[in-house]
Structure 1
């Protein structure tokens, strides 16, 4: 059933383009005086969705006449896009903002902007107002589409601008400019927000409820990406398996994959993140049937203990997760698997942890993203009793990494002598294998061969392996 999301009208988007034009004219005048265009610096913390959001911000800045720079000291506008999922990312972002106080004193005219998930938290605007006076503009995830208007207000007289309000149902804004970095890879958001309310996670509170983009908008953006030469395209959503539940049209994520697979061109489609409670046999059947959908699955299980999973409000059991993996492998024997794990969730016992370690050893993941639990204010888990010491959690963390490394090494060694299709995407520091590439399953390959070209698919034979990389030579 449709939710109460707000679809931003094209008239409202046009209004933002007017603000972009106002600022562009201001920047033209500055450029004539200086002899060069004003510059903008962007920095992103957090997930791929944050990176995609920054590309929208960069597109708007480009439309406003700003030239991109990698140096804060050269910038006229600085935008830091923040993350709230883990304390470490939040601390790094605030540390970088704190360091900008010296730049602000030396150049008071520079505009410092802070945005993203961190600032959408209820307590954060007051903290920024009191402790970070160098910050001129703060806008949350719900106000991203209004960035030109907010920046215009700051540039034309408002001392400090804060907008972290917004409807919890969330917004869908189509038609904003995007400035990507070029290369072979691109992010393509298919939905925003989350309805799951895992007890450790702040995302539903800062990104709003699940809301799906219209399928025709997604198809159109994919067609444009393919026309622009992108060949490794990742579909983004907090839980892509929930796609379509809020649309009037009867379409789910598997149906969307089938539709996107029909777009002409030589490219690969990946997606993240899937939630095990909503992953289905239909999804895996669809992946197996679609030649352009990469045989790669990122399916976070977080814990192998049903007791912990229940406290996390994850909505599945360890046995159900095993069944999903078994079915996916039955349909795609060569599928590459990755997952997320939280070690040290409140109340986790040694027995709970061993169940997690056992599941890791049984499944045999190709990649694993393991994190120590990070307490997030405002989530139910933050109030749960936790008497396990940090030292015990750290020891468990290291034991899990050892188990995973043993699994990965064996899986990597199995590629020795195999012929793999890869997409060459960059250069490496090595001289024997000077290029980097990715397999269909997302594995890193350092490769060599006179016929290899960045941005092109090629076949390589794996000559040697390591824990983190395969090494291949073109056929």
Structure 2
């Protein structure tokens, strides 16, 4: 291992150590995990921009006659990472498969947000052991956020010898090198970088579908909420250059995509790290508003970075939709302080008021955690009252679970499990109530629906979403898939709408372009 590799935590092959002592020595001498302490001192390391990604000639054809399979866990960012890895695989000559039995390479693209997500990955690794036994030439890899955790890598090295490679979130662009080394090496290839990450442009992608697309506009997070592992697994906030994003969205519009979602762990901090220009998410959205694509969304935003300029731009509408996902996490100022969210209940409510004044028909959705360390019944009631006061139309709700390496993991988890479950049940009752109420006014109305495909429950019914992210089910010919159509709502349910398509209301693309590597 050279000095540059050691500095960035790039791994050489581990020895076939078997004892706990051997593993400890390995990690002390070679493995340099992302440092929580050092992450707090961000700002000194310069982000490098690379727009010259290419596949080295020596790797071309590496996948000829071989198939790959990627299983994705977690958020849209992970889904988008999978699109990039699929693009690299296909550029190497591999063919995609949906069956692990046919695969020559299996990757698990992992999520570290919650313990349950990690347990699913370990369970899947157990199932793949038999497959590896039947096919010794099969390569099994673990990538994504879990790979950035020291404890996870140790556990895989010690317990899951069927794994051939582990790599992190910052070095997906090195997949050709990692695969090549895994084919040649008898030991597990571990390449995890503790550096904060660069911005790599010109990466190939195989997008899922040809109707909606995700576009990364920034990576990482600097907020350091006490419960969250993301700032450590994804690195510091680093924004793509606006011209690269605008060009990518223009390309998607030219190829017939109907909707783009801008992605970032903290998407509305976009541009704050670009030193040579005064440019934020509001400025970017104002430029994207001029592109001929029907819908543009963004996720996920942090209330601290939601400024008035962004609100002003969103209020211009056009292709900017009237739906904002705005995670509050708790309605108690005291709990928000423990979470290190850096805003109070009052500040959040003031932000909501400013958004609603500019966009009276906006649909607000949120994330909420219940049972945080030291959360009292009174504080939980504050969350319920805030939900009602804001009138959120939907929410992702969670019971708090500690993540190793986060500040909250050192706190006493002193809310009993039965109390956590009861609070989640009561919160979900309010969420269900408000979801149903938000849908009632739609009955008899005509809405624009982007048709995504067949309903999961009935192949004779099509399904799609409105601009305000409401699910609509309706009968229509399959030719409507991929188009934006007008639907009259005939019935409302707790979480969805039923309707009938109005033929003459067809708008949007007249044809679909097949998914391809771009």
TM-score range, shorter chain: over 0.9
Q: Any idea what the Cα deviations from partners look like across 1:338-375, whole Å, max 9, x if unmatched?
A: 10000011110000100001111121211100000011
> Are residue 87 (structure 1) and residue 111 (structure 2) matched?
no
Question: Does the CA-based 8 Å contact 1:136-1:160 persist in structure 2?
Answer: yes
Q: How far did 1:281 drift?
A: 2.0
Question: Does the CA-based 8 Å contact 1:112-1:137 persist in structure 2?
Answer: yes
Corresponding residue for residue 379 of structure 1: 406
Corresponding residue for residue 102 of structure 2: 74
Corresponding residue for residue 22 of structure 1: 58
Partner residue of 1:115 out of 125, 129, 143: 143
- How far, CA to CA, are the matches of 1:387 and 1:465 in structure 2? 41
Q: How far did 1:453 drift?
A: 0.8
Question: Does the CA-based 8 Å contact 1:38-1:66 persist in structure 2?
Answer: yes
Q: How far did 1:452 drift?
A: 6.2
Q: Any idea what the Cα deviations from partners look like across 1:385-421, whole Å, max 9, x if unmatched?
A: 2322100110011001111111111111121111111
Corresponding residue for residue 162 of structure 2: 134
Partner residue of 1:4 out of 32, 45, 53: 45
- How far, CA to CA, are the matches of 2:149 and 2:164 in structure 1? 18
Question: Does the CA-based 8 Å contact 1:125-1:164 persist in structure 2?
Answer: no
Once structures 1 and 2 are overlaid, which stretch shifts more, 297-306 or 87-96? 87-96
Corresponding residue for residue 209 of structure 1: 236
| Greater relative contact order, per chain length (Cα 8 Å cut-off, separation 6+) | 2
Return closer, same or farther for 1:103/1:88 CA change in 2, 3 Å cut-off: same
SS for the counterpart of 1:141 is coil
Corresponding residue for residue 389 of structure 1: 416
Partner residue of 1:246 out of 251, 269, 273: 273
Q: How far did 1:166 drift?
A: 3.2
Question: Does the CA-based 8 Å contact 1:183-1:425 persist in structure 2?
Answer: no
1:71-470 map, 5 Å: 71-157=99-185, 159-168=187-196, 170-247=197-274, 248-263=276-291, 265-429=292-456, 434-450=461-477, 453-470=480-497
Once structures 1 and 2 are overlaid, which stretch shifts more, 188-197 or 432-441? 432-441
Question: Paired residues, what number?
Answer: 460
Return closer, same or farther for 1:407/1:61 CA change in 2, 3 Å cut-off: same
- How far, CA to CA, are the matches of 2:58 and 2:66 in structure 1? 14
Structure 2 length-normalised TM: 0.86
- How far, CA to CA, are the matches of 1:423 and 1:234 in structure 2? 14
Return closer, same or farther for 1:150/1:310 CA change in 2, 3 Å cut-off: same
- How far, CA to CA, are the matches of 1:96 and 1:451 in structure 2? 35
- How far, CA to CA, are the matches of 2:47 and 2:304 in structure 1? 27
Q: How far did 1:431 drift?
A: 5.9
Once structures 1 and 2 are overlaid, which stretch shifts more, 54-63 or 403-412? 403-412
Corresponding residue for residue 38 of structure 1: 66
- How far, CA to CA, are the matches of 1:431 and 1:129 in structure 2? 44
> Are residue 472 (structure 1) and residue 472 (structure 2) matched?
no
Q: Which runs of 5+ in 2 are unaligned?
A: 1-41, 503-518
Question: Does the CA-based 8 Å contact 2:182-2:188 persist in structure 1?
Answer: yes
Question: Does the CA-based 8 Å contact 1:2-1:246 persist in structure 2?
Answer: no
- How far, CA to CA, are the matches of 2:169 and 2:468 in structure 1? 31
Q: Which runs of 5+ in 1 are unaligned?
A: 29-36
